[in-house]
Amino acid sequence: AQSVTQLGSHVSVSEGALVLLRCNYSSSVPPYLFWYVQYPNQGLQLLLKYTTGATLVKGINGFEAEFKKSETSFHLTKPSAHMSDAAEYFCAVSDRGTSYDKVIFGPGTSLSVIP
């Protein structure tokens, strides 16, 4: 079955520093890939997604992610962290095993930004 791993349940960065959140998936066939963000006491909202084509995907709020097939990875980055980036981040894949009916979510990474 498809699975998603996110290395590091908690990540802390200083304001202005690089943000790197890691995501790896298990499928040998490239799935559709998503990053969602969840602010406190809110639902999830889409940051960015990879479907086909260019492997570097740009999203909202200055985030971007690069799909690397050889590494089965889809890491999320932002060059300069802002206090407002403090949130929970979820990587997700659209599950080819269920003909894409379901989306598999990773366990999440909580990002703290230190002033």
Partner 1 sequence: NAGVTQTPKFRILKIGQSMTLQCTQDMNHNYMYWYRQDPGMGLKLIYYSVGAGITDKGEVPNGYNVSRSTTEDFPLRLELAAPSQTSVYFCASSYSKGLYEQYFGPGTRLTVT
State the CB neighbour count (10 A cutoff) for residue 105. 15
Check binding of 51 to partner 1 (CB under 8 A): yes
Q: Which helix or strand (DSSP H or E) is residue 88 part of?
A: strand 87-94
Q: How far is the CB of 84 from partner 1 (least distance, A)?
A: 19
Q: How far is the CB of 80 from partner 1 (least distance, A)?
A: 25
Check binding of 26 to partner 1 (CB under 8 A): no
Nearest to 106 by CA among 51, 31, 41: 31
The nearer residue to partner 1, 43 or 115, going by C-beta atoms, is 43
Q: How far is the CB of 26 from partner 1 (least distance, A)?
A: 15
